Structure 1
Amino acid sequence: MDSLSRKPPFSKIIIVGAGPSGLLLALLLAQRNIPTIVLESWAHLDTRLRATQYGVPATRVFRRAGVLEDIREASIAKFPSICWRRVADGEKLISLDLSLVEDHPDRMTILPLGEIIKILYRHCLEKGRGLINVRFNHEVTNVGQNGNTAWVDVNIKNGEDTTTTAARLDADYVIGCDGASSTVYYDGFEKYKWDGGNYMIDPEHWGLIARRGKGGLWRVTYGDPVMGLSDEEYLERRPEHLKAMLPGSPELEQYRIEHTNLYNIHNRCVDQFKVGRVILAGDAAHINNPMGGYGCMTAVLDVGGLADCFIGYFHGLAGEEILDLYADVRRDIFLRYVDPRSMKNLNRVATSDPHTVLETDKFFGILQDLNKDDEAMREFLLKVSSIEYDFTQHYKR
C-alpha cells in the first residue's frame, strides 16, 4: 500500500495549552496535514513578557514553522553583544561578540515571548484552517486513557458569566504544553553604553538585564536572597535591587516599570515524558531557572522533536515507538545538559566572588580564548548544540 492510500495510524491530537509550545507544535503538525485541537483555560492569549532571547537552536525551529521572518520584523535590528558585569561598580568582565554573526540567518532571536505568542497564533489562524482548532475558556481538569484512546475532562466557561459546562473530549493522543521579572524603561542603558544582554554578578543583587525588543524597554530579572516574604514585601524591596543593578544607580522616579512577574526559581523534571497516550513537552515536563535562556529554548526543541516524531509516525516513516524515543531522549538531554548548565549559569551570577570569577570560572576561561579568534567564536555561536536532537534520523529509509 503506498503512502497516499494508507490509513494514518491516528487522526486526533489534543494539545493542552495555547502558549508558545502548544501553538508551535500545532503549526509544525499542520504543515504535514496533522490536525490538532488546542485547549486554553484563559479567555485570551497569555501575552506576559517573560523570555526575550532564544538561541540558535530555537531559531532553526522557528524557521521550520514559518514564523521566523515575522519575528525578525518585530524585533530590534541589532543585538551586538552579551556580557557579564560586576554589580558593585558596573564593570564589564567579559562579553560575547554577537556582531560576528549579526547577518547569519541562524543568529539569536530577540523578542518578548508575549509577542511571539501573538505571531504564532496569527499563523495558526492563517495557515491552520481546517487543521488547527484553538478553543479558549477550556480548562482541563482531568486527563485519562485506556488502551485505545485518551481523553480530557474540561470545564468550558460560558462567556462573561461565571457558569461552566463540563465535557469530555477524546483523542488518540493528549499533549501537555501547559506549563514566570520586571520590564523597566530607563534611558540610562544607552547613555552608559550597556550591552544588549548583561548578566549581573553579585551575591545580593544578581540577575539579568536585557533589551526586550523595539520601543526602548528592558527586562530586568533579579534574585532576592531573603526568604519567606509576601509578594508585597518583595515588591517593596525592588527599588533597592534596581538602584544597585542599573547603570547610574537611579532613584525610583528615574525609571518606569511597565510589568512585573513574581516567581520562584527552581529546576525540576518529571519522571516520564510519556505515559501511554499522554505526552509532555516544555514547561509541563521540566522547569529550570532563567539564567542562560535554556527554558524557552529547550521547550522549543522539545516541540520540534515531538513534531518530527508524530510526522514520521503519521506518514509511515516510523513506528509508534518513535514517540517513546522522544520521551527518553528529550528527558535525558534535560537531565544531562540543560539542568546542570542552567544551574552553573545561576551559580556564576549568584554565588561567585565577583572580584575573582573571571579567573576562576571555567566558562569564562573558554570565552577568553574564543575572544582571541573571530572564526572560532563564530563557530562556537553557530554550532549544533548538544541539546538539539534530529529524530528524523530514525525514519525508515
Structure 2
Amino acid sequence: MGLRFADAVQVGLADDDVHSRVRIAEEVNGNLAYSPVSEPMNTRFCREECICEYYRVHEMPAIRDPSQELKNGSVIVVGAGPCGFSLSLVLARAGIHVTLLDKADGVGSQPRAAHIFAPGIQMLRRAGVLGDVRRAGFVPKNWSFRKADGTPIVTIEDFAPSKSPDATTVLPIDTLGKILWCHAQKNDNISVRWGCHVLDVGQDEDSAWVSVRENGGTEKIIKADFVCGCDGATSQVRKSLFGAEFRGKTWNDQMVATNVYYPFDEWGYDDLNTFIDPNDWHIVARLTKDGLWRVSYRQDGSKSLREVLDDHPARFEHLLPGHPKPDNYTILNISPYRLHQRSAEKYRVGRICLAADAAHLCNPWGGLGLTGGFADAIGLSECLIGIHMGRADHSILDKYDEVRRSIYWNFTDPVSTSNFMRVSTSDPETILEKDPVVATLARMHDDSRIRDDFDRHIYGILHDFTQYYSAGKGQASL
C-alpha cells in the first residue's frame, strides 16, 4: 500500500532516547522508502496505515542464527483486554499469526480505566484502530483538583492537550474492547478464542504452549513460538511461572467504581475532577458525550461486597452534589476492587512473557495501570516483531524484562504511590502550600516550561526497543 503523505509528530519521549533516529515514509516512484532524519526520539511516525510497512520494505541485516527466528511466525496471547487485543493486532499486522485466548465469553463490561493517555494512543495507532477510537470517544478539556465539598483548588486547562496528535482520549474500556474485537475479526492473522481457561503453560527449546480447558470441558494443548500473558491481576500465566508470589503490597482502602447518569454539568464539574480528602477522596470523570460519568470513591477495605453494595446509596448521597437519593441517578455498573502495588519477579522466562496487569499492578491514581500496560505492549511487540523479521535474537526479550521492570519500580510505582498519597492523606485546606506538585500545577497556566514538563512526563513510561535491532540503535522505528 503506497503513501500519499507521512508526518512526523512531536510526542516527547524519555530523555535517554533523544539520540535515536526515526524514518519518514514517502512515496518514491510508487514504492515506500525510508530515509534517516536527524530528529530526536520525540519525533515519531504516526500514519495508521503504515504501522507495519517499515518491517516489509526496509532493507536491514538479518541475524544469522535461524534458530533465533520465529519458526512458525506464531504467538499465543492470553487475555483479551485492551493490552492483549492491541498487542495481537500489532503483531498480526506485521505478519505474525496470533491466537488470542480469554476465559470470558466476550468483551467485559465492568467499569475500569477510561482515560487513554499518550502511550495508549500510540499503541492504538500502531494497531490501526485509533481513528475508530477517536470517533467513539472524546478529548477531555479541564481537570480540577477539588475539596470534598466541590470547591476547586487548582484547575489544569486543556490537560489532554487537545492539539497533540497523542491527545488523551476518553473511552470506556468495554467500548474500546468492542472496537478491538471488530478489527481482530477482520484480520486473517488473528484467531480469537473465547471461553478458554488457561490451566498451565510450558516450553522447550523450540516452542511454548498453553494447556487450556474450553467451556465445553475439553482440554487441549495449543502451541506457538511464544506465549504472552496479558491475563490480568489474577494471571494464570504468571501463577504457572511463579506460583502465588507477587511482590508488593495491598492498600488498606478499596475503591468502588461506578458508571452513572447524573447531571454533574449543572454543578459546574469539569471533565475530570479529583477530590482530595483523607476520608472522602473520590474522582468524578465524564465518560461519554451522552452524559455518562465515572464516580470512583473510597470504601473501607474491610467491608464485604454485600456491605459495600448496601452502603453505596449513603456514600453517593454524601459525596455527590445535591445529595441525591437513588431515584435521582441511574447506575449502569458498580464494581469494588482492591488497590495494589505489585510486580512479578520476571517479565520473561524463556519463550513466555508477561505484560500489563499480569506483570504489575498499581493504584489507579494517574492512570498508570492502563498506560503502563500499553507501554508494555508497545515494547513487547517491538521485540517480537524484531525476532520475527530476523533483526533481533531472543536476547532482546531479556532487555524487555530488564527495562520494563525497571520502569515499573522507578516510575510507575513511585509516581502512582505519590498520586494516591496526595489525594488520600493531604489536608485540602493547605495542600497548595505544602504539596510542591499541586503548587507547581497552579503556576502552569502562566509558565510554558511547567506546561511542557507536564505534557512530557507521561512519556517516561515508554522505551524504544528497536534500538536493540541488529542494524543498530534506532534503525527500525515504526
Aligned-partner residue type, residue 351 of structure 1: T
> How much identity, in percent, do the aligned residues show?
37
Quickly say closer, same or farther: Cα 1:241–1:22, change in 2 above 3 A: same
Does 1:48 pair with 2:110? yes
Query: Which residue matches 2:150?
Result: 90
Structure 1: gaps (5+ residues): 159-163
**Equivalent residue letter for 1:66:** G
State the one-letter code of the partner of 1:324.
D
Distance 1:250 1:40 in 2: 39
1:353 to 398, 420, 427: 427
Deviation at 1:364, TM superposition (A): 0.8
1:153 Cα deviation from its structure 2 partner: 0.9
CA distance in 2 between counterparts of 1:269 and 1:58 reads: 20
- Spell out the pairing of 1:28-43 with structure 2 (5 A cutoff): 28-43=90-105
- The residue type equivalent to 1:17 in the other structure is G
Q: Relative to 1, partners in 2 of residues 1:116 and 1:282: Cα closer, same or farther, differing over 3 Å?
A: same
Task: Kindly indicate whether residue 199 of structure 2 is the aligned counterpart of residue 151 of structure 1.
Answer: no
Cross-structure match for 1:222: 297
Tell me the residue number matched to 1:118: 178
CA–CA separation in structure 2 for the residues paired with 1:379 and 1:229 = 40
Give TM-score, length-normalised by structure 2. 0.77
Q: Alpha-carbon deviation of 1:267? A: 1.2
C-alpha distance in 2 between matches for 1:13 and 1:310: 9
Structure 1 match to 2:272: 197
Query: Which residue number in structure 2 is paired with residue 183 of structure 1?
Result: 259
Deviation at 1:281, TM superposition (A): 0.3
Match of residue 386, structure 1, among 453, 460, 475: 460
2:129 alignment counterpart: 67
Tell me which residue corresponds to 2:9: none
Task: Using structure 1 for the length normalisation, give the TM-score.
Answer: 0.92
Structure with the higher fraction of residues in strand conformation = 2
Report what 1:208 is aligned to: 283
Separation in structure 1 between the aligned mates of residue 365 and residue 333 of structure 2, nearest angstrom:
19
Q: CA deviation at 1:307?
A: 0.2
In structure 1, distance between residues paired with 2:119 and 2:131: 16
**Which residues of structure 2 form unaligned runs of 5+?**
1-59, 233-255, 472-478
Cα contact 2:440–2:450 (8 A) shared by 1: no
Residue 175 of structure 1: how far off its partner (Å): 0.8
1:242 aligned partner? 316
> Which amino acid in structure 1 is aligned with residue 226 of structure 2?
Y
C-alpha distance 2-312 of structure 1, shift in aligned 2 (>3 A): closer
Aligned partners of 1:71, 1:256: CA distance in 2, in Å?
25
1:139 matched to 2:197? The reply is yes
1:106 and 2:146 correspond: no
Q: Does 1:167 align with 2:227?
A: no
Matches within 5 A, 1:283-294: 283-294=357-368
C-alpha distance 346-175 of structure 1, shift in aligned 2 (>3 A): same
Could you tell me whether the CA contact under 8 Å between 2:140 and 2:160 is conserved in 1? no
**1:267 aligned counterpart, secondary structure:** strand
Aligned length: 386
Amino acid paired to 2:198: V
**Cα gap change, 1:311 to 1:256, in 2 (>3 Å):** same
Contact 2:275 2:282 in 1 (8 A): yes
Q: Deviations over 1:247-299 (max 9, x none)?
A: 22223321111111111111111110011111100010011111111111110
What CA deviation, in whole Å up to 9, does each residue of 1:142-194 have, x standing for no partner?
A: 11222332211111122xxxxx111111222111010091111101x111121
One-letter amino acid matched to 1:200: F
What's the counterpart of residue 313 of structure 1? 387
Indicate the SS of the match to 1:190.
Answer: helix
Residue pair 1:107, 1:382 contacting (<8 A) in 2 also: no
CA contact (8 A) 2:146 2:275 kept: yes
Distance of aligned partners of 1:258 and 1:55 in 2 relative to their CA distance in 1, 3 Å threshold:
same
Residues of 2 paired with 1:301 and 1:2: CA distance?
A: 27
Deviations 1:50-82 (A, max 9, x none): 111021222122112111110110113x41111
Q: CA deviation at 1:106?
A: 1.3
Letter of the aligned partner of 1:9 in structure 2? L
* Separation in structure 2 between the aligned mates of residue 267 and residue 100 of structure 1, nearest angstrom: 26
Change (3 A) 1:316 1:300: same
Give the 3-state SS of the residue equivalent to 2:119 in structure 1. helix
Mapped partners of 1:295, 1:384: distance in 2: 12
2:81 maps to 1:23: no
* Counterpart contact for 2:123–2:374, Cα < 8 Å: yes
What's 2:140 paired with?
A: 79
Distance in 2 separating the partners of 1:84 and 1:384: 19
Structure-2 separation of matches of 1:241 and 1:292: 23
In 1, distance between residues paired with 2:317 and 2:81? 33
Partner-residue secondary structure (3-state), 1:184 = strand
Structure 2 Cα separation of the partners of residues 351 and 43 of structure 1: 40
Residue in structure 1 matched with residue 247 of structure 2 by the alignment: none
User: What does residue 368 of structure 1 align with?
Assistant: 442
Are the equivalent residues in 2 in contact too, given 1:177–1:284 (CA < 8 A)?
yes
Q: Distance in 2 between matches of 1:59 and 1:264?
A: 27
Assess if the C-alpha contact under 8 Å between 2:61 and 2:391 holds in 1: no
